[in-house]
Structure 1
Amino acid sequence: MSIFGKLSFKDQAFKLREDAILDAATAILGNKGYDLMTMDDVAGAIGISKPSLYKHFKSKEELVGEALIRLIDGAIDYLGQMDDQLMALQKLSLLLEWALRVRLNGGIPFLPSTSAHVRDMLMRNLKYVMRVVKLNGQLEALVVDAQKQGDLSPDLPKDVILFSYYARTCDPTVEYLQQFSKMEHEDIVKYMLSVAFHGFKA
């Protein structure tokens, strides 16, 4: 049974509007960044009053935190749905492919990588930190397994591989290709995955 099957009509409407708010906030963050985004922007994007918006989220900090928590939860859920028989490198590749597709559709604002203020704000959000720790632990284990399986270089420290992997999810190359090349999204994803795991060598 879906979550909506357990909720009253009023609660369903509230949840749907909350999802719309998070979608709008994510899009605005991607376009304007955290500092320039306002709660008025978000309310205007979905056609509700600011008091109505504050019924869902008490502040911009809380809203941004929830938007990024939803994103991390999506990654954790996607990883959890993968076939246990897949090799570690296959799982890492599939998750990066998922992230790139979400990114191309405007679903991943790369805020923590570009703003110290946002990083500090998120580090005060215990719920966000717990989600990050969980996802990081899962990805670190996959990197170690892929090294043991001979699919990733054992000569590289695992942190170098892991943080480089994170960087691929917020690589501005994606935006450049999306805006200035004539590539379809499928081609962008394919080439970004190739560069991430095989580099530039012939």
Structure 2
Amino acid sequence: MNNKPLLDYINKYVNLTIEEETLLLSKIVNRNYLKNQYIVQQGEICKSANFIISGCTKTFHMDLEGQEHIVMFSIEDWWTSDLGSFITQTPADFNVQCIENTQLIQFTFDNLEALYKEIPKLERLFRKIVERAFVASQKRIIRNFSLTAKERYQIFKNTYPKIEQRVPQYMIASYLGVTKEFLSKIKSQITQNQ
């Protein structure tokens, strides 16, 4: 598998020496998942932080009625996992499932902790990743409370145009907290107003 996208991503934030890159690559696991396969399942402990080389995943919570509540999609050069479970090593609240065949680079909890000790600047990088995830989560909560479904859809469409082309409409509806019929109605209103 090509590890260059991961190294390029990391080097945007911190500069690694050749020795540090070699050490980092010795601590990763390359994995291929098939469409519909789970990377993390609700109730299990999330064992890895996952960098996507190719493919697309959804992160969702399944409620007691069997209803999916999608909170995130992830594509190339993004991270995916149940971050809370990974950090605390406690059972996951979320599932992470592949929407497409997906290639990942995985960091186990122990290997990442070892890398933090051996390459301290990686701890700064992962702090930045967690901070960005937290900010994105906070903004999404505010949007869900204060914006209409139509406004949320337009933000989704403008912010993630590559994702909309790859994800079924019923999943986008779940992400927005609406039915697929209501999403269809929103889309037709937008088309009529253009």
TM over 0.5: no
TM-score computed with the length of structure 1 as normaliser = 0.30
TM-score by length of 2: 0.31
Greater helix share, 1 or 2?
A: 1
Structure number having the greater strand percentage: 2
